[in-house]
Amino acid sequence: MPRETGTPNTSQCLAAGGFAGMAVDTALFPLDTIKTRLQAKAGFIASGGFRGIYSGLSSAIIGSSPGAAMFFLTYEQTKAALERRHATKEYQPFIHMAAASAGEIAACLVRVPTEVIKQRLQAKHHSSLAGAIRGTYGAEGLSGFYRGYLTQVVREIPFTCIQFPIYEYMKQWYAARQGRPIKSWEAAVCGSFAGGTAAALTTPLDVVKTRVMLSTKGVGGHLEYSGIASTLRRIVREEGVRALFSGIVPRTIWISIGGFIFLGSYEKVKAMLLDAGVFANK
């Protein structure tokens, strides 16, 4: 069976992942803004409509590279460690799920604070990056920047447990069929399909995550939305099941295109670094 190039080291993971994160977040930011505004409690028009669709881009740029780098560093190293212990084929889907889950838990430590600020700017809760940071810290302290951390992790783990087994399986299947290692653009197509499938299936969790992150303290100091289960029940009770799929079209399109750019860029840069020996261990 055709084999991929070797496991990248720490520096190569950081470089390839950082580039991939920056590329996808910058290119597809308008679709992310539209998705966030569709999911906001206030509604699409009240949250800004099509105006200022690059609001929050600065926060996304700050967090995209380190967040993606942290994900791929953890993913690649965890996958390699598990594959050394469980090399047989039947373990592969579980290895990819475990590695992707570990990657998301690590990445969210970096990603969530920038996601909170980004979404509050997208939904017009604040008019500037500095104002959003001051407002969040003033109202909730440091914990405010991790508003929705658990919700994001709960959303991301099912997402990656769907996306990465599909992605890795499709790569292996296509490489075996072609009798050669998969090319970066072919990996990008696999990433697009896997990402779009996972995005559609996990949209309800994304809606809950958006509501929790946009929630601020109201009368009596209580948050409008706080827990995962309570937010899910409240949305269904007040707005119906359909509200849980708000933004499913832009989210699926965004992540399908994003999967193509993100995973394609990662595979291309990773292969280039491995082939050239850049950042190779001495």
User: Phi and psi for 2 in degrees, rounded to 5?
Assistant: -60, 140
pLDDT of residue 53: 87
Query: CB–CB of 144/136 below 8 Å?
Result: yes
pTM: 0.71
What DSSP state is assigned to residue 230? H
State which H helix or E strand residue 88 sits in.
none
Buried b (16+ CB within 10 A) or exposed e, 4-37: eeebbbeebbbbbbbbbbbbbbeebbebbbbbbb
Q: Measured at the alpha carbon of residue 43, what is the angle toward residues 51 and 108, in degrees to the nearest 5?
A: 85
pLDDT tens sequence across 62-93: 777 888 888 888 998 999 899 888 767 778 88
pLDDT of residue 279: 66
Place of tokens 């998969």: 182
Average pLDDT over residues 104-115: 88
pLDDT tens sequence across 188-244: 999 999 999 999 999 999 899 888 878 876 656 677 887 888 999 999 999 999 999
pLDDT of residue 2: 44
